[in-house]
Amino acid sequence: MRIESPRSISKSLLILIFFAATAASVTTEIAMAAEPEQVAPAAAAAQEAAVHIVYVSRPEDADAEEFHIRTLAAVLGSEEKAKEAVLYHYKHAASGFSAKLTPQQVEELKKQPGVLQVVPSQTYHLHGPGAGTTSTTGLV
């Protein structure tokens, strides 16, 4: 029976530790390579379009809807895309429109001439039994 010297045991142990560390490193790299798939939904969620109200100061002689479309087309790239994105035109009490926009589009739109403010659309509920829900019970 051969007895290993302490020095050869130490070498064997160091080699074993080296391989274990290398394997752990490779496992970490593989896990990190898989993470973009897990991070991508979070990035996609940040780019999801949400309804925003865009308040504008349009020239008095300009048609409200045409001005809204031209303003939004500058950000979306075409009047066709702008027409598809607009949900409603505000022309009486205030001048503006509502549209589904990504956070990046909101930032670009804020830089456009005539745009006064871009705010997320919010729904408010009246007081009463149905307040805080989508039900209209009690609001007759």
In terms of pTM, does the model score above 0.85?
no
Q: Which residues 6+ apart lie within 8 Å of 52 measured at CB?
A: 98, 99, 100, 101, 106, 118, 119, 120, 121
Please tell me the predicted confidence (pLDDT) of residue 37.
Answer: 46
Beta partners for 54? 97, 118
26 pLDDT higher than 50: no
Structure tokens at 103: 């956070």
Structure tokens at 22: 């290398």
Beta partners for 119? 53
Q: What is the mean pLDDT of residues 72-98?
A: 94
Which position has the higher pLDDT, 25 or 38?
38
